[in-house]
Each structure stands twice: as structure tokens, then as C-alpha cells.
Amino acid sequence: MAKREHIVTRTASELQAMRRRGESRSDWAKAASMTSDEIEASVAANPDEVGMVVDWDSATVEMPQPKAVLNMRVDQEVLDYFRKTGRGYQTRINAVLKTYVSRMRG
């Protein structure tokens, strides 16, 4: 799993408080004053967006399937390994199992 060392999660209220304290690096006044065409041109000029085309007409909303509750026994070393990876370890266990199922189905 790739490191996410630069990703920080904030709640909406935390972001609002940061803006009030002047801790935001975004120029919200400039963004609010831009037209749709200027925003599109700015996005198009971003090297990370080169070649990216989004066809919103064919976009769909995919709701995640609900998870099933399961109590199971695993080797302690397996559980310890995943727990040491931090928050979300159960999601990672699920991802490993899901990948296994996908490969076995061919």
C-alpha cells in the first residue's frame, strides 16, 4: 500500500476554523471571482490534469454494498500484522480477501 504522507483529513468545521484563522493557503476571494471559463482554463493548464477528460453524461453513482458482520478466527500473527498497519486494518483485510476472490474467479 502506498504511503499517504501528505494527505490530511479535516472536517468541514475544522476547515472553516482554519480559514477564519488565516491558515488556508487557498485564495478563496480569487476563486469566488473566477468565471466558469476561467476555472476550466485553470484546470486545463494544470499538468496533473493533462489529457483528463470526464464525460459526465455517462457518469453513474455506485453505492457500496453493505458489509456483512463476521466473527472469525485468524492466526494471531496475521491479526497483529494488520493491526500494526494502523487505522483501517479491517478494511485492508477485506481488500486482501476481495483480491483473492477476484483472482480465484479468474
Length of the chain counted residue by residue: 106
Nearest to 71 by CA among 44, 90, 48: 90
Torsion angles phi and psi, residue 81, rounded to 5: -60, -50
Q: Is the pTM of this model over 0.85?
A: no
Measured between alpha carbons, how far is 34 from 40 in angstroms, rounded to an integer?
A: 10
Nearest to 82 by CA among 104, 97, 64, 67: 97
Measured between alpha carbons, how far is 82 from 4 in angstroms, rounded to an integer?
A: 17
> Where do the domains of the chain lie?
12-50, 76-105
**pLDDT tens digits for the chain (106 residues)?**
555 677 888 888 998 898 889 888 788 788 899 999 998 888 888 888 877 787 888 888 888 888 899 999 999 999 999 999 999 999 999 999 999 999 999 8
